[in-house]
Structure 1
Amino acid sequence: MENAFQVDLRGVVDLLSRHLYSSPRVYLRELLQNGADAITARRALDPAAPARVRIEVSPGTIGVHDSGIGLTEDEVHTLLATIGRSSKRDELGFARHEFLGQFGIGLLSGFLVADEIQVETRSARGGQAVGWTGRDDGTYRVEPATREETGTTVTLRVRPGADEWVSEATVTDLARLYGSLLPIEVTVNGRRTTEPALPWAKADESPAERRHRLLEYGRQTFGFTPFDVLDLDVPGAGLTGVAFILPAGAGPGVRAAHRVYLKRMLLTERAEGLLPEWAFFARCVVDAGELRPTASREALYEDDLLEHVREQLGRQVRDWLVRLAETDPAALRGFLRLHALGVKALALHDDDLLRLVDGWLEYETSDGPMTLAQFRTRHPRGRFTTSVEEFRQLSAVCQAQGVALVNGGYVYDGDILRGLARLDARIEPLDPAELTTRLAPVDPAAELAARPFLAAAARALEPLGCEAVLRDYDPASLPALYVTSRAADQAAELRQAREEADELWADVLGALERTAERPRLVLNHRNPLVRRLAGLDPELAATAVEALYGMALLHGHHPLRPADTAALNRSFLGLLDWAVK
Structure 2
Amino acid sequence: MTAEVHSFQTEVQQLMNLMVHSLYSNKEIFLRELISNSSDAVDKLRFEEITNHNLLKSEKENSILIRNDKDNNILIIEDNGIGMTKDELMNNLGTIASSGTKKFLEKLSEQDKKDSNLIGQFGVGFYSAFMVAKKIVVESRSAHGGEAYKWTSAGDGTYTIEPSSKETRGTTIELHLKDDEKEFIDDWRIRGIVRKYSDYVTYPIFFLEKKEDGATEEVRLNKSTPVWARNKRENKPEDYQELYKQISMDWKEPLLWEHISVEGLVPFNAVVFIPTEAPFDLYTRDNHGLHLYVKRVSITEKCKELLPEYLRFISGVVETDELPLNVSREILQHNNKLPQIKKQIIKKVLSSLQNLANNDSEKYFNFYKTFGAVLKEGFHFDFEQHETLSDLVRFKSSKTGKDGWVSFKEYIERKADGQKEIYYLTGPNFESIERSPHLEALTSKGIEVLFLIDPIDEWFIMSYNKHGEYNLKSINKGDLDLNGVGKETEEEKKNEEKPVEELVGLLDLFRTKLSDEIKEVKISKRLRESACCLVADENGMSAHMERIMKATGQGMANNNKRILEINPSHNLIKNLADRKNKGADETTLNEWVEVLYETALLSEGSPVKNPGTFAKRLTKIMEMASGK
Q: Please, what TM-score do these two structures have when normalized by structure 2?
A: 0.74
Equivalent residues of 1:248, 1:338 under 8 A apart: yes
Deviations along 1:448-493, one digit per CA (max 9) or x if unpaired, are: 4x765554334323455544456799665x4431234327889xxx
Match in the other structure for 1:154: 173
Match in the other structure for 1:141: 160
1:192 corresponds to 2:220: yes
Q: SS at the partner of 1:161? A: helix
Moved more, 517-526 or 72-81: 517-526
CA distance in 1: counterparts of 2:299 and 2:464, whole angstroms:
42
1:353 corresponds to 2:388: yes
Moved more, 540-549 or 127-136: 540-549
1:7 corresponds to 2:21: no
* Cα distance change of structure 1 residues 12 and 543 upon mapping to structure 2, 3 Å threshold: same
For 1:70, which of 83, 87, 97 is the aligned residue?
83
CA distance in 2: counterparts of 1:559 and 1:94, whole angstroms:
74
For 2:412, which of 368, 376, 380 is the aligned residue?
376
In the TM superposition, 1:11-410 aligns within 5 A as 11-47=14-50, 50-59=61-70, 60-90=73-103, 98=116, 99-189=118-208, 190-202=218-230, 210-224=236-250, 225-235=253-263, 236-249=265-278, 251=282, 254=285, 255-341=287-373, 343-344=375-376, 349-350=384-385, 353=388, 356-357=391-392, 361-365=394-398, 368=401, 369-371=404-406, 372-380=408-416, 381=419, 383-385=422-424, 387-388=426-427, 393-399=436-442, 401-402=444-445, 403-408=447-452, 410=454
Equivalent residues of 2:244, 2:316 under 8 A apart: no
- Tell me by how many angstroms 1:39 deviates: 0.7
Q: SS at the partner of 1:83? A: coil
CA distance in 1: counterparts of 2:175 and 2:585, whole angstroms:
97
Give the letter for the 2:135 counterpart.
E
For 1:461, which of 506, 509, 514 is the aligned residue?
514
CA distance in 2: counterparts of 1:305 and 1:445, whole angstroms:
69
Match in the other structure for 1:504: none
Equivalent residues of 2:522, 2:563 under 8 A apart: no
* Cα distance change of structure 1 residues 311 and 147 upon mapping to structure 2, 3 Å threshold: same
Moved more, 288-297 or 457-466: 457-466
Q: SS at the partner of 1:115? A: strand
Moved more, 152-161 or 459-468: 459-468
Contiguous gaps of at least 5 residues in structure 2 = 1-7, 209-217, 484-491, 543-560
Moved more, 186-195 or 32-41: 186-195
RMSD of equivalent CA atoms:
4.2
- Tell me by how many angstroms 1:62 deviates: 0.4
* Cα distance change of structure 1 residues 247 and 144 upon mapping to structure 2, 3 Å threshold: same
Q: SS at the partner of 2:364? A: helix
Q: SS at the partner of 1:127? A: coil
Deviations along 1:22-74, one digit per CA (max 9) or x if unpaired, are: 11101101110110111111111115964111000121010111011111111
- Tell me by how many angstroms 1:357 deviates: 3.0
Equivalent residues of 1:354, 1:416 under 8 A apart: no
Q: SS at the partner of 1:17? A: helix
For 1:433, which of 476, 479, 494 is the aligned residue?
479
* Cα distance change of structure 1 residues 252 and 308 upon mapping to structure 2, 3 Å threshold: farther
Equivalent residues of 1:400, 1:475 under 8 A apart: no
In the TM superposition, 1:451-490 aligns within 5 A as 453-462=506-515, 464=517, 466-468=519-521, 476=529, 478-486=530-538
Give the letter for the 1:537 counterpart.
D
CA distance in 2: counterparts of 1:228 and 1:174, whole angstroms:
30
CA distance in 1: counterparts of 2:391 and 2:398, whole angstroms:
18
1:549 corresponds to 2:597: yes
Deviations along 1:509-548, one digit per CA (max 9) or x if unpaired, are: xxxxxxxx98334156636598469645113312431343
Equivalent residues of 1:400, 1:474 under 8 A apart: no
Equivalent residues of 1:366, 1:396 under 8 A apart: no
CA distance in 2: counterparts of 1:196 and 1:489, whole angstroms:
59
Give the letter for the 1:384 counterpart.
Y
Moved more, 524-533 or 285-294: 524-533
- Tell me by how many angstroms 1:383 deviates: 4.4
Q: SS at the partner of 2:306? A: coil
* Cα distance change of structure 1 residues 223 and 523 upon mapping to structure 2, 3 Å threshold: same
Equivalent residues of 2:92, 2:98 under 8 A apart: yes
Equivalent residues of 1:346, 1:353 under 8 A apart: no
CA distance in 2: counterparts of 1:444 and 1:228, whole angstroms:
59
CA distance in 2: counterparts of 1:366 and 1:326, whole angstroms:
21
CA distance in 2: counterparts of 1:320 and 1:554, whole angstroms:
43
Higher percent of residues as helix: 1
For 2:586, which of 531, 538, 556 is the aligned residue?
538
Match in the other structure for 2:467: 420
CA distance in 2: counterparts of 1:463 and 1:439, whole angstroms:
35
Q: SS at the partner of 1:88? A: helix
* Cα distance change of structure 1 residues 261 and 124 upon mapping to structure 2, 3 Å threshold: same
Deviations along 1:85-137, one digit per CA (max 9) or x if unpaired, are: 11112389899954211111122111111100001110112221101110132
* Cα distance change of structure 1 residues 417 and 44 upon mapping to structure 2, 3 Å threshold: closer
* Cα distance change of structure 1 residues 94 and 570 upon mapping to structure 2, 3 Å threshold: farther
Equivalent residues of 1:469, 1:522 under 8 A apart: yes
Percentage of matched positions with identical amino acids: 22
* Cα distance change of structure 1 residues 82 and 417 upon mapping to structure 2, 3 Å threshold: closer
Between the two proteins, the alignment pairs up a number of residues equal to: 540
* Cα distance change of structure 1 residues 406 and 65 upon mapping to structure 2, 3 Å threshold: same
Equivalent residues of 2:478, 2:535 under 8 A apart: yes
Deviations along 1:245-281, one digit per CA (max 9) or x if unpaired, are: 1222364764323211111111111222113443323
CA distance in 1: counterparts of 2:173 and 2:356, whole angstroms:
52
Moved more, 410-419 or 536-545: 410-419
Match in the other structure for 1:501: none
Equivalent residues of 1:453, 1:538 under 8 A apart: no
Contiguous gaps of at least 5 residues in structure 1 = 491-516
* Cα distance change of structure 1 residues 394 and 542 upon mapping to structure 2, 3 Å threshold: same
Equivalent residues of 1:70, 1:121 under 8 A apart: yes
- Tell me by how many angstroms 1:84 deviates: 1.7
CA distance in 2: counterparts of 1:165 and 1:530, whole angstroms:
87
Match in the other structure for 1:497: none
Q: SS at the partner of 1:152? A: strand
Equivalent residues of 1:260, 1:268 under 8 A apart: yes
- Tell me by how many angstroms 1:387 deviates: 3.4
Equivalent residues of 2:325, 2:333 under 8 A apart: yes
